[in-house]
Chains A and B, each alone.
Chain A
Amino acid sequence: DADVTQTPRNRITKTGKRIMLECSQTKGHDRMYWYRQDPGLGLRLIYYSFDVKDINKGEISDGYSVSRQAQAKFSLSLESAIPNQTALYFCATSGSATLELFFGEGSRLTVL
């Protein structure tokens, strides 16, 4: 089983719908991140959390919200999806004594 699991892996939705992407990890890490990847643009940081009570905005947080339900769970929500949020979304974790990121397999979201 993967250490960092994302669900769903693929989702097609319509403009205006609310979408939640979920991430769970078994690595015991405190730090969790959500990144977005668009073709040719690398990965951009949306939100990050260093513990259950800590939520921080990244480079591109507008239009997104997150919830850290437990140490092992970090979800990303699009309250009202729009087509330019079509992208590949990655969850990542890291331990407190390292800068190494461990990524999930990604969630491909298409907004029509």
Chain B
Amino acid sequence: LAKTTQPISMDSYEGQEVNITCSHNNIATNDYITWYQQFPSQGPRFIIQGYKTKVTNEVASLFIPADRKSSTLSLPRVSLSDTAVYYCLVASRPDKLIFGTGTRLQVFP
């Protein structure tokens, strides 16, 4: 089971790009990397998933280096509404969807 390590918290200002890095040194060959966003008193919401290189959607980009031992979630031009907790999950099986403690992002005006 790949263990993930993320910063506990990060601060940013509106309009800036935010990069949150997740370390997963013992990632397995078949593991995918998935990021979730959670607002207070709500369930986590899927943001993006990738296996290698770069994935981009309308919300974020996910950068994964060749060794796959880390990944970086990039949020372009954050707004106050991006204030949330962000979780990185690494898994290849549906019975191994384990959440870590996440990164609390605070966006200031």
Point out residues on A near B: beta carbons under 8 Å: 4, 31, 33, 35, 40-45, 48, 50, 56, 59, 88, 90, 92, 94, 99-106, 108
- Complex contact A106–B101 (CB within 8 A): no
Question: How big is the B interface, by class?
Answer: 20 to 34
Question: At the interface, yes or no: B80 with Cβ under 8 Å from chain A?
Answer: no
List 12 contacting pairs A-B, 8 Å CB cutoff, sorted by A: A44-B99, A45-B98, A48-B94, A48-B95, A56-B95, A88-B41, A99-B94, A100-B46, A100-B49, A104-B43, A105-B43, A106-B42
- Complex contact A105–B42 (CB within 8 A): yes
* Nearest chain B CB to A68 CB, angstrom units: 15
Question: At the interface, yes or no: B83 with Cβ under 8 Å from chain A?
Answer: no
* Nearest chain B CB to A46 CB, angstrom units: 12
Chain B residues within an 8 Å CB radius of A102: 46
Known: A94-B94, A103-B43, A106-B42. A42 touches B49 (CB 8 A): no
- One digit per residue, 1 when the CB lies within 8 angstroms of any chain A CB and 0 when it does not, for chain B 38-79 equals 000111111001000000000000000000000000000000
Chain A residues within an 8 Å CB radius of B97: 33, 45, 94, 99, 101
Question: At the interface, yes or no: B100 with Cβ under 8 Å from chain A?
Answer: yes
Cα distance A99–B33 when bound, in Å? 10
Cα distance A103–B97 when bound, in Å? 13
